[in-house]
Structure 1
Amino acid sequence: MSQHALPSNDLDDPALARPVYLLPGWLNSGPDHWQSEWQRRHGDTRVEQDDWEWPRRGDWMARLDEVLQQDARLVERPALLVAHSLGCQLVAAWADHSAHTRLVAGALLVAPPDTERDETPPQLHNWRPIRRPRLPFPAIVVASTDDPFCRPERAAGMAADWGAQFVLAGPLGHLNAASGLGAWPEGRAMLHRLAR
């Protein structure tokens, strides 16, 4: 795809003619991350947080609630959430607490970290325990077989608790920029499937 092509085929797909919000994880998603590529190609909206280095669960939840409530389009066409890493834990915690979950049509949850691991950095200790309620909207959890931050069986357990479909993507690390996914068309296809 050339840099001057239309940003997305999504415009021809009524299933994705709805807002897509990107929820990066700890330290944000850099320029080579597939979330950043989706933002450039498809015009998805990144939810910015005040503190990417010391993320406080309550603050991140409040920010997501604020962003969604400010988007008047979501009353008629609820959004799709696309979360990576700690963003997945954000979706679960937010959905367990918010009175505005009707503003979301579905969520793609990629590489959820196990924040209950002994090796979890102190910056993320306030994300314990992991919130595990059944999500009030359809979701797909994508994990890899060799994610250094979460064993596949732990990711599968989260997906089961959240009522989400579970997809094991193979040995792709943390499904981030270092995984070499580029624009990650397979992920975009899963988002289309979720939207439909």
Structure 2
Amino acid sequence: MKLVSTLPFFTRDGSHEVAYHPLSRGAYEQLPHIKVTDNLTPAQEFAQYKTLIFAMTDFTPEQFEALTAPDFLQLCRDLQTFTLTPADELREQPIDGHTFAFDLLFPFTNELGQTIEHIEFKVPKVKHSEALANIDNNDEREDFMFQVVTGLSKADVARMAVNDYLTIKGQVGAFFTLAGDYFHPAMSNALSI
């Protein structure tokens, strides 16, 4: 997958293309004003986009300052659209209740130097649901669910590309919120008389 944004006014080495790379979940969480729930002010939005551009491209401060306003807006739109598109949609292979494993679109290296390329989903037990019910903080609940279903630590999830995270998050949540027939619809149909 070629990750580039084509900007009409920007040129570097004779090209209008700007290469970019996926944003990690940890870098996403560090974006300015990411936890703001109301509409961002223009200054907050600009700061967020500026940080996003530096996090995902190799732009120098000088190259950033030389961007035209239309190129800035185009690049922001391209980076935002890419970052918020789940990996299964980028692949055009949606995961569903029959999916118990997932090959990461953007493998990452964990703290131990191991490359994580594949995630196996483990079905949580009632004891996990009970433990989850006793966690009030939403971030801690999510960390717990990811740990149980994927075996990934909080540090691992922080290194994962947002695209892969968005795909896996839905499946992780499904294991804790959906009934068993979501995962085996063919089985429930076979038992009906």
Query: TM-score, normalised to structure 1's length?
Result: 0.24
Name the larger-Rg structure: 2
- Highest RCO, 1 vs 2 (Cα 8 Å, sep ≥ 6): 2
